[in-house]
Structure 1
Amino acid sequence: VLNGYLAPSLLATDLAARGWNHQDLSTFLKHGMSAQGTMFNEMFPVFHNSTQGLNDPDLAAMATFLLGDQPPQAKVLSETSLDAMSPSAQRGRQDYLNVCAGCHAPNGEGKPHIAVAMRGNTTLRLEDPRNLLRVIEDGIGEQQFTGFERMQPMPGFADKLNHQQLT
C-alpha cells in the first residue's frame, strides 16, 4: 500500500485475469493509457518520468518480463444482462447512471479526452476495492499523456455518496 493505494499484483496470471495482454501492457507503459485504463496517482510519475521515454524494444521486453514468454490468455469480461443482475447490482447500476455516466458514458465505454472507460478497466477487476473506492471518494486530477492525450479531472464524491452507494 502506497499513500492509501494498493499496488496490484504483477504476476502474469493476475495481470491476465485483469485483462492484460502483451500489446496492451506495452501500450500502457508507453502512453500511460490502454483499454484497461490510465496510470493515475502513484503510478502516473512512473509513466511521466520513465516509461513514456522507452523505445519499443524496451517496452516489449518489459511486457515479456511481466507476462512471460508464454503469457496466459487475457480474461475477457462477459456482459451481464439487466435481468440477471441482483437487486443490489441494479441499484448500483442506477447510482452509476445518476452519478458517473455523464462522463464515463451509460455503458461504461468512456469518452476520449474526458474520462476513461469503465468497461474492462483493471481497477474494477481488483479483488480489493480500496483503489476504486479511493478514486470515487477523492477523485483524480487532470492528467496529460503522450500525443496530446489527456483526461479531465474527476471530482471526488465522498460528500455526495453514502457508504451503501459506494459499496
Structure 2
Amino acid sequence: MPSRSRILMALLIWFVGCTAEAQQRSSGNSVAARGEYLARAGDCIACHTAPEGRIFGGGRAMPTPFGTLFSSNITPDRDTGIGKWTAEDFYKAMHYGRFPDGGLMYPAMPFASYTKITREDSDAIFAYLKSIPAVNQKNREHDLRFPYNNRQLILGWRTLYFNEGEYIADPNKSAEWNRGAYLVEGLGHCGMCHSPINALGGTSQSEAFKGGLIPMQNWYAPSLTSNREAGLGDWSIKDITDLLKTGVSARGVVYGPMAEVVYNSLQYLTDEDTKAMAVYLKSIAEPTPTRASAASTLPSTESSLLMSLGKTVYDGKCATCHGAQGEGKPPHWPPLAGNQSIEMESAVNPIRMVLNGGYPPGTEGNPRPYGMPPFAGQLSDNEVASVVTYIRTSWGNRGTPVSAREANELRSAPLN
C-alpha cells in the first residue's frame, strides 16, 4: 500500500506541475496576444517595417529636415534585434527614450508620447515582440548632417520638448474619455503628425494637435482642435468611429499617411477603444467659427478663367463619382461640398489627391480609401490648379484658389 501511495503522490505532483506549466504558458500567450493588440494600436509596424522588408526588421527610411533616419530591427534576433533586451530595457526605451546602455534615442521614435504608456502595457508589447520570428538584419546607420549626427544635442531637445511620465487620468472625466486620451496621446502618438513642428523638430504643449505640414512627406496633417480643419466637434460619434475604423464616413475620408494609419492600426481596434478615441477627439475640438466668405487671391478675369477650366475638368474627371454638385455617394465616394478637408487653409492635401489619388489598394502609400485614381499623368499643372480651385470654391465651399506653381511643386515631391 505504501508503494501505491507513493505512486499516486508522484502522479499527483506530475499532474499539478503540468497544469501549472500549461497555465503559465497560457498566461504568457495571453500577455503576448494583448501585446500584439497594443502594438497595433501604437502602429509599430508602420515605421519598423521597410517596403518589401521583413515585418519589424527595420530599415525603413524616414526623411527629416536634418537628414535621413532608418528604423531599427525590433525582432527577437539576438545579434541584430532586441533579443538580448530585458523587459526593463524595453520600458527604458519606451518611457525614457534611451537604449539599454543609456544612449539617447532620436525623437523620431515617439518616446515623447510612449512615455505615457503604463509599465504593464510596455511589458505586454515586449512579450509580443519576443514571440515573433527573429530577423537577422543589421540596423542601417543614420544619414544625418552635421551637427545633427551628434546625439548629445538630443539633450537640449529633451529639455525643451520631453515631459517624462505615464498618463495620469483626469478624475473629472469618464473612464471612456480617459481611455481615449490614453490612446490618442500615448499609444497612438497622434500629436506626432497633427501638431506643428518647429525648426528644432519639436512641438510646444500649447500647440498640441493644432495641425501642420508633415516634414518631408508633403502632406498636411490638419488640426484636431479646429472645426475649420479636422476638429470633430460638430461630428457625431458614429461619423468619427466610422472614419477611424474604415477611413470613410458620411462626413469625410482619410488619405495619404492617415490612410496608412487606418490600414495598419486603427481598423484592428475594438469598438470600445475606437469609441473612446472618438469621445476624446470630439471633446478637444474648439467652438465652430462663423464661416467666412472665400477671399480670392486672383484677379477677377484670371479667377473666372480658372473656374471655367476647373468646371470642365471636374465634369469630365470627377463628377461621375463625386456628383455634379459635389454631393458624392457616401460612403464609397465622399461629398466635396461642405467637406472640411477641401476648405482648409492649406491646399496641399486636395492637390496631392488629384495628382496621386488614393494610391492602388495594397500599396505602401495609401491602401484606403479605394477608387480614387491618380491624375498626374492626365492633367497639366494648370488643369490641376483649376480643378482644385473649382472644388475649393464651389457649392458653398470657402476655400481659396491655388496656383499652377503649387501643383508643380507637389507633382515632383516624394509620396513619403
Same fold (TM over 0.5): yes
Q: 1:81 — aligned with what?
A: none
Aligned to 2:370: 151
After superposition, the C-alpha distances for 1:28-82 in whole angstroms (9 at most, x for unaligned) are 111211123322220112111221122222112111211218x66778x9xxxxx
1:111 Cα offset (Å): 4.0
Q: For the residues of structure 1 that align with 2:370 and 2:231, how far apart are their CA atoms? A: 25
Is the Cα contact below 8 Å between 1:104 and 1:115 reproduced in 2? Answer: yes
Q: 1:61 is aligned with what amino acid?
A: A
Q: Does 1:160 align with 2:379?
A: yes
* 2:352 counterpart (134, 147, 150): 134
Contact 1:33 1:39 in 2 (8 A): yes
Aligned length: 156
Where in structure 2 are the equivalents of 1:64-79 lying within 5 Å?
64-68=279-283
Q: CA shift at 1:122, angstroms? A: 3.2
Task: Please give the residue correspondences for 1:7-86 in structure 2 after superposition, counting only pairs within 5 Å.
Answer: 7-11=221-225, 13=227, 14-16=229-231, 20-68=235-283
Alpha-carbon distance between aligned partners in 2 of 1:106 and 1:58, rounded to the nearest angstrom:
38
Cα 1:114–1:34 change in 2 (3 A) is closer
Match of 2:137 in 1: none
Is 1:117 matched with 2:335?
Answer: yes
- The answer to whether the aligner puts 1:103 opposite 2:321 as a matched pair is yes
| Unaligned stretches of 5+ residues in structure 1 | 78-85
How far apart, in 2, do the equivalents of 1:16 and 1:108 lie? 21
Task: Give SS of 1:57's match.
Answer: helix
Residues 64 and 150 of structure 1: is their aligned pair in 2 closer, same or farther, counting only changes over 3 Å? closer
Answer whether contact 2:220 2:349 (CA < 8 A) is retained.
yes
Percent sequence identity over aligned pairs:
29
2:240 corresponds to which letter in structure 1?
L
Give the residue type in structure 2 aligned to 1:102. T
Letter in 1 for 2:265: S
Q: How much has 1:109 moved relative to structure 2?
A: 2.6
**2:46 aligned residue:** none
TM-superposed CA distance for 1:128, in Å, is 0.8
* Residue of structure 2 equivalent to 1:83: none
Give 1:161 deviation, angstroms: 3.4
Cα 1:65–1:17 change in 2 (3 A) is closer
Task: Report how far residue 118 of structure 1 moved.
Answer: 1.7
Classify 1:31/1:136 alpha carbon distance in 2 versus 1 (closer, same or farther; 3 Å): same
8 Å Cα contact 2:237/2:275 also seen in 1: yes
Deviations 1:99-152 (A, max 9, x none): 3213322122334686433234332021111111111122221347xxxx9622
Bigger radius of gyration among the two: 2
- Residue type at the aligned position of 1:32: G
Cα contact 1:12–1:66 (8 A) shared by 2: no
Aligned to 1:152, what secondary structure does the other structure show? coil
1:40–1:140 Cα contact (<8 Å) kept: yes
Distance 1:41 1:16, change over 3 A: closer
- In 2, distance between residues paired with 1:29 and 1:125? 21
Give the CA RMSD over aligned residues.
3.6
Q: Is the 8 A contact 1:24 1:35 kept in 2?
A: yes
Structure 2: unaligned runs, 5 residues or longer:
1-213, 292-299, 363-367, 389-401, 403-416
